Chains A and B, each alone.
Chain A
Amino acid sequence: MLERYLLISALLFAIGLYGTLSRRHVVAVLISIELMLNGVNVALIAFSRYTVPAAVRLGGAGDAAAAGALTGQAFALFVIVVAAAEAALGLALVIALFRARGTADITEVSLMRR
């Protein structure tokens, strides 16, 4: 059960990486990064559901075990928040870039190269 969720997670991450490297539209690059973050979340939640938390393995019970079992979900929530911040800031940058240069093609934004 764990393995197949991890495979989906790896697949999402690889697809996102491919999109990030191969697309030229800035928004496409950004949403590919969102796909990668989403893949990580699938892995975090799968680990939270299917592996024995360390607190339980060390003999803990009650609240410690409960907290240990949901640590992966808490991490996933943090990833969601950071991804939302990244999306807001990244898309604002895209709009500012489009206003300044009239293009959303990352291969044409090469000011730092010269």
Chain B
Amino acid sequence: MENAFQEAVFWALAAVTVGGALLVVTQRDMLRAALALIVSFLGAAGLYAQMNAAFVAVAQVLIYGGAVSVLVIFAVMMTRDVPAANRGAPVQPAALAAAALLFAGLAWAIAQAEWTLLPDALPGPLEAVFVDSASTLGTLLLTDYVLAFEAVGVLLLAAVIGALALVRER
């Protein structure tokens, strides 16, 4: 019973995520595309939560669902009067072919590859790690990946200062 419920939730989340993504690339009105992007991000956050990644799911909702989507909507509003670009979005057969080819290749690779899989029901100690992922992730980021952690902080700072400098009115 619980399994059937989880299955239903999975398929609903998958449909929301992929459907939202499809709307993003097909919707001609940019504001609607931006709103579909938020839907897709939230669906992906649900998928993360289903994969026992609660912390990343919350980060996804806060950063993508909150910050990035507000940025995108602002950018859409500030570049509003471009009917040419809005009308655009022609279905370019080459782009469709490239995307289809890429997906076919990836699907083939996924079907071919062999992984050593964890059992669907996690063994006790590992389950504890996933349930308490925030503290393990914190330790991991400040020990094994401390250099990358600091570098990414500097990168974000530089990007934000650069963004401010670019849009400043002179």
Contact = CB atoms under 8 A, between A and B. Distances in A.
B141 A74 contact: yes
A102 to B, nearest CB: 9
Contacts of B8: none
Nearest to B10: A4
Contacts of A26: 79, 85
Most chain A CB within 10 A, of B56, B129, B137, is at B56
Interface of B: 10, 14, 17-18, 21-22, 24-25, 30, 33-34, 37, 40-41, 44, 47-48, 51-53, 55-56, 59-60, 63-64, 67-68, 71-72, 74-76, 78-79, 82, 84-86, 88-92, 94-96, 98-100, 102-103, 106-107, 110-111, 115-118, 120, 125-126, 129-130, 133, 136-137, 139-141, 143-145, 148, 152, 155-156, 159-160, 162-164, 166-167
A52 B116 contact: yes
B145 A74 contact: yes
Given A70-B140, A74-B137, A84-B156, A52 B118 contact: yes
Contacts of A18: 25, 95-96, 98-99
Interface footprint category on A = 35 or more
A69 B22 CA distance: 32
B63 A95 contact: no
Contacts of B86: 25
Interface in A1-45: 1-8, 10-19, 21-28, 30-32, 34-35, 38, 41-42, 45
Contacts of A87: 68, 71-72
Nearest to B102: A14
Given A94-B79, A98-B78, A73 B53 contact: yes
B117 A51 contact: yes
- In this complex, which of A80, A86, A92 has the most chain B Cβ atoms within 10 angstroms of its Cβ? A92
Contacts of B53: 45, 48-49, 73, 76
Nearest to B117: A50
B56 A77 contact: yes
Contact of A2 (B22, B63, B75, B115): B115
B140 A67 contact: yes
B59 A17 contact: no
Contacts of A77: 56, 59, 137, 141
Contacts of B129: 65-66, 69-70
Interface string A72-100: 01101110111111111101111110100
